[in-house]
Chains A and B, each alone.
Chain A
Amino acid sequence: MSFAMIMQLIISGIALGFIYSMVSIEYTLIFNSTGLLNFSHDKLIMLGAYAFAGQFVLRMGCGYVVATIATVLSMFITGILIAKGIFNPLRNMASPIFAVIGTVIMGRIIKELCRIIWGATAFNIPGFMKGTFKFGSIVITRANTYIIIVAVLLVIALQLYFNHTKSGKAMHCVQQNKTAATLMGINVSQNINITIGISAVVCSIIGILVISLFSVSLTMTNMIGIKGFAAGVIGGFGYFPGCIVGGVLIGILENLSTLVIPSIYKDCVAFVLMIVFLLVQPKGILGHKK
């Protein structure tokens, strides 16, 4: 067990951890705004990847920049449609279970639609985000570098938006008290539409970033969907800095755990940690109180 090996495990753990963090941020946005969990969030990430790779790059031959903009825009619209179709109509029903089931079913619909539109074959974009940077015996892949940079920029952008723009502040109000927000003249439904649109945009960015790591397939996001949830619980549910801390912690710990336990139990680390936190420190590491 050399120093280089431990460093390598930590670095790839950080990169994967940032993916969990972004997943955690994406559903925290919706949870904060509507009080509901979006159980189709991993399918939205997958849809983003399919739209970018399958549709814009491979079928329409767009450049990466154009394809990214097109994907982000189309996913924003998709998010708003989902808000209008599921979250807004269902959130005020007798039980939140209606909206939750609505999102579960939507996930299945998205998945089968992707299969029908882009086919069942997994595929990749040749040469996309390929390559590595080498520092001595430590290897950092180009994809991992991009993931870390984009994740950091994304958190900064979201923080600026929520704290320094009028609509961002309005989202805070909606999150705290919907009735009071309505009385203050905030259009709650429209606000929720935009929040879910932003969440879908974050999903599409995650989708684009993980293409070179996971290939585009119908099962590409199964595991990051669940681990992103664990990241939120561990870091502090409903709080962005908590998402980052939780995600990165899971990423590093599950990689380092393989030094002491068999690697097939790696996935358990995130879930055992999540249960421990739920029992001992339900507020998460950063202990943020809403």
Chain B
Amino acid sequence: MKRFTSLFLALVMAVSMLAGCGGSDKKKETEAPKETAEAEKKEEQQDTKAETEAQKESESAAAADDGDTITFGLSCAITGNFPLAGERTLQGVQMAVDEINAAGGVLGKKLAFIYEDDGNDPTQAVTVVTKLLNEDICGLIGPHTTTNYLAVQELAGQAEIPYITGGSGTKIAAAGNKYGFQCRPSDGMNGIVAADFAVKELGAKKVGVFFNNNDFGVGGRDAVTAELDKLQVEYVTLGHNSGDTDMTSQLMQFISEGIDTMILWTDDAEDVVVARQAYELGLEADVITSAGVVMEQVLSQMEPEYVEGWYSVTDFVPANDDPVVAKFVEDFKALYDIEPELYASAYYGAVKFLAAAIEKAGSDDPKAIRDAMAELKDVEGPTGTLSCASDNTLIHSCVVTQITDLKPAVVNTVTADFE
């Protein structure tokens, strides 16, 4: 009897603890320590609202598909090693869906989405995408990153559901899946732009190419070195691994090689380490980086002098005079009280593109939507105009930005030819 009583008491305690946590933790979900208390409060409220709305929508879509809703699936990393990307993705997608519904929805029906957390892990991505594909969805957005795309693209292809990702690796187009679409500029293009900018604008004579040894970094390195070969400029390539925290040896090798420009193709966390160590070790070279460095969440981890004067080839910066970008930034700030970054903007654009494709197809049949996507051109989005090329890439322009006092500003916009 005593045993049962203690077991019962333990259960009651566990349940009450969980209930307690649920209430207060939810509020705290997206607090960032550096923001002011007021901003935090507002953000919390907005986030909670957005999430509950998203949940409500997904529930309503899943529970009662009464023919008045068109539903798509979203896989993003809410937990795991890249949770901020997932959070911003969800915010961007939610905002796009709300705007579309406020303007009358698609085909006279409400647009809704079901989201799942893929933890930025290819194995989990396969599980959640399998689950999403078994729901009644007309299209799939996410998972993010090239590696995750490659893990799930065949599933989406076999299910004949059109799938838009924000991974930027060259392997996405190379996989040749006719159901897969890429809503951010491919590293193939960004790499060429970076190399061209280094040689033609900065007059580089010897370039150090520093890449992350993953699908993203290696794709970027290949694009950059191919262009440097074409321009007949000398270069040295060195790599590092994801999660590396000491780049001394590579940076020292660059210094002793006497490079005048460094092209850095890596992820957010490594950007911060390289920036600090390059400054500390006294690397005297112009630096051009891949897209991530211009994001607020990356710049806020650095001292201004670490990245002063750095260039970045990216798809989105909030400080842009372009009216589409300016309106998007203003609306996003009004809704969430934070500046949007490239994940929010890219996936916002992806939803707009999907909605336009549904309208064009005139039905919510996934196959018809895929065919409509393949022919769809000129959908305005904050990361540029989305037009489908023969290799299913949607964005064909990027911006070169320069960072001054931790603020990136647009130097140049480059648009590529596509067919």
Contact = CB atoms under 8 A, between A and B. Distances in A.
Interface of A: 1-2, 5, 8-9, 12, 16, 53-55, 58-59, 112, 115-124, 126-127, 130, 132, 139, 141, 210, 213-215, 217-219, 222-224, 255, 258-259, 262-264, 266-267
Contacts, number: 117
B301 A119 contact: no
26 contacts: A2-B256, A5-B253, A5-B256, A9-B248, A55-B33, A58-B33, A115-B79, A115-B83, A116-B28, A119-B29, A119-B33, A120-B83, A121-B297, A122-B84, A122-B269, A122-B272, A123-B34, A130-B303, A141-B280, A218-B81, A222-B243, A224-B245, A259-B249, A264-B240, A266-B244, A266-B249
Nearest to A126: B303
Interface string B254-265: 011000000000
A118 B31 contact: yes
Contacts of A217: 269
A266 B213 CA distance: 12
A268 B238 CA distance: 16
Contact of A9 (B29, B32, B249, B302): B249
A118 B303 contact: no
A13 B59 CA distance: 53
B246 A215 contact: no
Nearest to A137: B282
Contacts of B79: 112, 115
Contact of A219 (B243, B252, B256): B243
A263 B238 contact: yes
A214 B245 CA distance: 6
B55 interface: no
Contact of B239 (A119, A214, A222, A264): A264
A251 B79 CA distance: 31
Nearest to A122: B301
Nearest to A8: B252
7 closest cross-chain pairs (CB), A and B: A120-B83, A258-B249, A58-B33, A264-B239, A120-B84, A12-B248, A124-B301
Given A5-B256, A53-B33, A120-B84, A267 B272 contact: no
Which of B31, B87, B250, B280 has the largest number of chain A CB atoms within 10 A? B280
B268 interface: yes
Contacts of B25: 116-117
Nearest to B247: A263
Counting chain B CB atoms within 10 Å of each CB, which of A2, A121, A215 scores highest?
A121
A258 B281 CA distance: 17
Contacts of B28: 116-117
A16 B301 CA distance: 21
A122 to B, nearest CB: 6
Interface string B221-241: 000000000000000001111
B239 A127 contact: no
B249 A255 contact: yes
B246 A12 contact: yes
Contacts of B253: 5, 258, 263
Contacts of A264: 213, 239-241
